[in-house]
Amino acid sequence: MKQFFIIDTNVLVAGLLTAHPDSPVARISDGMLASAFAYVLSEALLAEYRAVLLRPHLRKLHGLSEAEVDSILVDLAQHAIVLAVDGNAAKRVAPDPGDQFLWDLLASRQDLVLVTGDKLLLQDATMQARVITPAAFASQWLA
């Protein structure tokens, strides 16, 4: 079965901030922009990408204007499979309530894998086979 990936906000942001172009997070964010692998977005995830990238302390680090952030997000959305998530579906509760939208997206299809650096999500036993680190993703799918 083909795998499709959900890239958590922490991975995308780290990829845009790192000074190490060979790091897993940089390779993932570059791969998203180059359509190097199949990834999915939801409206909630895209909105979180935007909100986090526009936080003042992060804007100082990445140096991107609001228009430049929006341009990157448009590119990401154009390369992605955008899924609508049924908010009324039976839910598996996320280990972190702030990440429920990621859990809902992950539960929406069996061929999805979440790439994250979030330790709470990585340690959840119920989804362990479907949640991986950026390093594991880069070594397995971006070799």
Write down the pLDDT at residue 136: 96
Write down the pLDDT at residue 10: 97
Whether residue 56 is predicted with pLDDT greater than 90 in this model: the reply is: yes
Radius of gyration of the chain (CA): 14
Q: Into how many domains does the chain fold?
A: 1
Write down the pLDDT at residue 122: 94
Please, which pLDDT band fits residue 125 given cuts at 50, 70 and 90? confident
Cα Dmax for the chain: 42
Question: Which residues span the domain enclosing 42?
Answer: 4-141
Write down the pLDDT at residue 47: 97
Whether residue 128 is predicted with pLDDT greater than 90 in this model: the reply is: no
The arithmetic mean of pLDDT across residues 42-70, rounded, is 97
CATH code for the domain in which residue 117 is found? 3.40.50.1010
